[in-house]
Structure 1
Amino acid sequence: MTKTHFIIDVPLMALTLLQGISEIVLLVGSNDSTYIGIGGYEWKYIHEIIGIPIMILFTLHFIEYCKWFINETKDVFRIGLFDSV
């Protein structure tokens, strides 16, 4: 899981941090109709753009974790099955 950690977890943490910052800016610097704009981009859209890669990375991480869990536990289930027979 070490390689997976650096490929998926580190970018996931960075994107989560960026999304958190954008949420704070949305909460502090906006009301229902206005958003703080930086470089021509509104924070609302930055927040949505950042959220998409987070969901993709989270899905990839979940798939990798499921593969790891199956590989780690298949021997346990196999041993238990043969013991019961």
Structure 2
Amino acid sequence: MKRALINYIVDIPLLILTVLEGVSGLILQFGGRGMSEWRHIHELCGVPMVILFVIHLALHWRWVICVTKNTFGLNKPAQACSIE
């Protein structure tokens, strides 16, 4: 499977879960009582979101290392970082 397709398979659900987590969190913060459905959505989205985030981070780990090294001047001269 191509790397771009794997990124889409991970990133699109991660985006959806992150938006649901944020929206449900805001509703719970400002909504008051009777929010059991939103609490349930918030709790259901949390674990898969963290799992997908860890997978996303693993898929882009070389890029993270490269950018970190460039930021702190550990690559001389600074090299271009790609996610491929």
- Tell me the alpha carbon deviations over residues 46-72 of structure 1, each in whole angstroms, 9 at most, x when there is no partner: 201111110010011111112xx18xx
Q: How does 1:6-25 map to 2 (within 5 A)?
A: 6-25=8-27
More helix by share: 1
In 1, Cα distance between the equivalents of 2:8 and 2:42?
24
Superposition TM-score, scaled by structure 2 size: 0.62
Cα deviation, 1:3-43, whole Å, max 9, x if unaligned, reads 2321111111111111111012101212xxx3424xxxx32
State TM-score, norm by structure 1: 0.61
Larger Rg: 1
The equivalent of 2:45 in structure 1 is 50
Higher strand share goes to which structure?
1
The sequence identity of aligned pairs, in percent, is 35
Where has structure 1 moved over 2 Å in runs of 4 or more? Answer: none
Number of residue equivalences: 63
Structure 2 unpaired stretches of 5+: 67-84
What RMSD over aligned residues (CA atoms) do the two structures have, in Å? 2.2
